[in-house]
Amino acid sequence: KTDECINTMSNDDEPSTFRSILPHEPQPVEAYGYLHIQGSFEPKLKKTSDEEKQEIESFWSQSSLVDAITSSLAVKKLQGLVKVKTLDEKAPFTKLKIVFESSEAAHQAYRSLRNQKMTPAMILSHMDQKFQYSSRQLQITKITTKPMLSTTIAWTRSNPPKFRRLLHSDELSLEEERKSARFVFMTNLIDVSNPPQYWSDSFLVIDAIRSITNHF
């Protein structure tokens, strides 16, 4: 089952409907690249009175949160950043859309933010230190305006079948499965006696393999 479309408010010159890019799907080629970020951006005062708690229930306005996130991403030197938009009509603002100059720039930002396990506390670390932000990792999703690929050329489920289901002794059954699934079984990718340090991180491994195979 594919992820549901993410509908967003937009200007007349922007698309209004997006869908999430599946984990094993090649990066779509389009005019801009997009990330959807979700998390708790509302701060808490480290030491507050009841009056102060009431004061920061709606700490952010749409424009102030956009400005804060934009300046933070600029400090982190994410390449190709175009703009940040809030997707909630009123506080609390928990969902953001980040627009990049290209789909490749969005992919690189996705890798960077995911690898750093980015949290609201990390992304807003330059803000006033009397506030405390959430340390829970942000949900970061690559999204696209492109429609879902046809089932005749792509596996449209969020996760492909396990490889062990394709590797069995029944040759007739295996041949039937190979006709309806498109996978390559790869071996000898690394020297197992001296694997690179990042090889224990499955996300980095898959991303490294995808970045090479996408050229073909």
For residue range 92-143, what is the model confidence (pLDDT) as tens digits?
A: 899 999 999 998 899 889 988 988 899 999 988 877 677 888 999 999 999 9
CB half-sphere exposure, 56, CA atoms < 13 A:
16
CB-CB contact of 22 with 142 (8 Å) = no
pLDDT single digits (tens) 14-70: 666 899 887 777 778 888 999 999 999 988 776 655 545 444 566 888 999 999 999
* pTM of this structure: 0.66
Mean pLDDT of all residues belonging to the chain: 76
CB-CB contact of 24 with 157 (8 Å) = no
The C-alpha angle 103, 6, 20, rounded to 5 degrees, equals 45
pLDDT score for 95: 94
User: Amino acid identity of 92?
Assistant: P
Q: Which residues contact 12 (CB under 8 A, 6 or more apart)?
A: none
